[in-house]
């Protein structure tokens, strides 16, 4: 039995035990438990024992937040630096956690030399070699890869589905195929995912993004290139409504193509919410609940992963600062590692009762 399935069985058993204690059929699991995980930041991981303890206690899945990005692995063009990634992968395996690898191809977090690549041949050579070396190193350890990250145009115009990145400029649409084909060749057992943001809001731009994701999956499949999942980042803006119907349809369509989903970077951007912390926490939990309800109606996500665990550390602080300078509250644990209402929502899904 793999560490992962052992975990699944444990959480399932925990759910059943909780149901028995509650004594009511209402508390029985409604669906298979969904593994819960978090992205882990190496600096915090090294510095804060409480952070390591929370990862151990709460997560089934761990994602190195930044250490598998090109910027971390390839700051030196000639030599790969696996120091941070190895540390987090080692911790995860030692503690029986599954791993997601993030990300083999992205237009951001590139070292300066990669941004200066000038020819198609150079880009193809570097991309292929990168994926070969990285996927091979973690073969049998990292079960799931975000093969491409954020390749869909932010607000797509007709005929321009892809985001303008060095990969798109030098390789054209083929960059996606090269990445998936190479990852599949190196680790045929890996689960290969297209990861992107904003599939959940209303509006024509988001609908176009969903359609492009479906088109990419369909095209890869038509060409016989393996693709197993779509990662929905789910950085949820608290001021924007969830298009539950659109999400349900999208997940359903992906299912018809034989592809699962997973929630890969969940957090709540609360910069426009009132200052009162209880109000913000309630709003965040309710938004997450609405979103997850829509995703699980047609689907069974492979995992639900938050982009960090505690409000003490989050990219939201710098990227989406509040006007009143109050600290953001995007994550399931508060600054002192106390579970917030969002954690209770996540626990429900983890136990199969969502
Ligand atoms: C962010 C990290 O959280 C930050 O620590 C880093 O400085 C920048 O990147 N979409 C992604 C993630 O796919 O990799 C980004 O992570 C957040 C947005």
Residue 28 lies in a domain: no
Q: Do the domain assignments include residue 286?
A: yes
Quick check: 177 and 216 in contact, CB under 8 A? no
17: in domain? no
Domain span including residue 132: 6-10+33-350
Answer yes or no: is the C-beta of 66 below 6 A from any ligand 1 atom. yes
| Any domain includes 55 | yes
Which residue is closest in CA terms to ligand 1's atom 3? 315
C-beta separation of 247 from 294 below 8 A:
yes
* pLDDT tens, per residue, the chain with 354 residues: 333 343 333 343 333 333 333 334 456 677 899 999 999 999 999 999 999 999 999 999 999 999 999 999 999 999 999 999 999 999 999 999 999 999 999 999 999 999 999 999 999 999 999 999 999 999 999 999 999 999 999 999 999 999 999 999 999 999 999 999 999 999 999 999 999 999 999 999 999 999 999 999 999 999 999 999 999 999 999 999 999 999 999 999 999 999 999 999 999 999 999 999 999 999 999 999 999 999 998 889 999 999 999 999 999 999 999 999 999 999 999 999 999 999 999 999 999 988
* DSSP letter string, 23-35: T-GGGS--S----
User: Do the beta carbons of residue 146 and residue 92 sit within 8 Å?
Assistant: no
The alpha carbon of 329 and the centre of ligand 1 are apart by a number of angstroms equal to 17
Respond yes or no: is residue 150 known to be catalytic: yes
Ligand 1 atom closest to the Cα of residue 150 is 13
Q: Identify the pLDDT of residue 31.
A: 84
Atom of ligand 1 nearest to the CA of 307: 3
In the reported structure, the alpha carbon of residue 65 is separated from the centroid of ligand 1 by a whole-number distance in angstroms of 7
Asked whether the beta carbons of 299 and 254 are under 8 A apart, the reply is yes
pLDDT of residue 19: 38
- Distance, CA 277 to ligand 1 centroid (Å)? 25
| 344 in Cβ contact with 337 (< 8 Å) | no
For residue 110, is it within any domain? yes
In a domain, 15, yes or no: no
Q: What is the CB neighbour count within 10 angstroms for residue 46?
A: 12
* Ligand 1 centre distance from Cα of residue 316 (Å): 9
Checking DSSP bridges between strand 304-306 and strand 260-269, what pairing results, if any? parallel
User: How many of the other CB atoms lie within 10 Å of CB of 275?
Assistant: 11
- Distance between CA 80 and CA 82 in Å, rounded? 6
Tally the domains of the chain.
Answer: 1
Tell me if residue 342 falls in helix, strand or coil. Answer: helix
| Strand-pair category, 152-157 with 160-162 | antiparallel
Question: Does residue 236 lie in a domain region?
Answer: yes
| CATH number for the domain that contains residue 204 | 3.20.20.80
Of 124, 200, 262, 265, the catalytic one is: 265
The active-site residue out of 150, 200, 262, 347 is: 150
Name the residue at shortest CA distance from atom 9 of ligand 1: 66
What single string gives the DSSP state of each residue in 258-309? T-EEEEEEEEEE-TTS-S-HHHHHHHHHHHHHHHHHHHHTT---S-EEES-S
Ranges of H-type helices in the chain: 3-22, 42-47, 49-58, 70-73, 83-94, 112-115, 120-137, 166-171, 174-186, 204-222, 244-256, 277-296, 315-319, 341-350
Nearest atom in ligand 1 to the alpha carbon of residue 308 is 3
């Amino acid at each position: 039995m793999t560490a992962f399935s052992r975990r699944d069985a444990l959480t399932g058993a925990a759910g059943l035990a909780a149901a028995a204690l509650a004594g009511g059929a209402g508390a029985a699991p409604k669906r298979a438990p969904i593994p819960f995980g978090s992205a882990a930041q190496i600096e915090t991981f090294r510095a804060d024992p409480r952070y390591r303890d929370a990862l151990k206690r709460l997560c089934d899945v761990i994602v190195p937040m930044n250490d598998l990005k090109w910027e971390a692995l390839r700051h030196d063009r000639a030599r790969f630096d696996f120091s941070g990634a190895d540390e987090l992968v080692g911790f995860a395996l030692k503690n029986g956690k599954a791993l997601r690898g993030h990300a083999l191809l992205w237009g951001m977090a590139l070292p300066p030399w990669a941004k200066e690549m000038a020819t198609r041949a150079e880009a193809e050579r570097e991309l292929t070699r990168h994926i070969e070396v990285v996927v091979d190193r973690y073969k049998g350890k990292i079960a799931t890869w975000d093969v491409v990250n954020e390749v869909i145009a932010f607000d797509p115009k007709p005929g321009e589905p892809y985001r303008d990145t060095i990969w798109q400029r030098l390789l054209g649409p083929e960059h996606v195929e090269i990445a998936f084909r190479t990852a599949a060749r190196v680790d045929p057992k890996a689960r290969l995912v297209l990861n992107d943001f904003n599939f959940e809001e209303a509006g024509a731009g988001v609908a176009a993004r969903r359609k492009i994701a479906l088109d990419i999956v369909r095209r890869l499949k038509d060409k016989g290139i393996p693709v197993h999942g779509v990662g929905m980042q789910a950085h949820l803006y608290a001021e924007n409504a969830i298009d539950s119907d659109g999400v349900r349809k999208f997940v359903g369509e992906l299912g018809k193509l034989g592809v699962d989903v997973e929630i890969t970077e969940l957090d709540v951007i609360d910069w426009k919410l009132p200052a009162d912390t209880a109000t913000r926490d309630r709003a965040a939990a309710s938004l997450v609940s609405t979103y997850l309800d829509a995703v699980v109606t047609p689907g069974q996500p492979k995992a639900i992963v938050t982009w960090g665990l505690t409000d003490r550390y989050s990219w939201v602080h710098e990227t989406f600062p509040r006007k009143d300078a109050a600290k953001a509250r995007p994550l399931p644990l508060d600054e002192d590692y106390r579970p917030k209402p969002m954690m209770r929502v996540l626990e429900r899904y983890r136990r199969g009762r969502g």
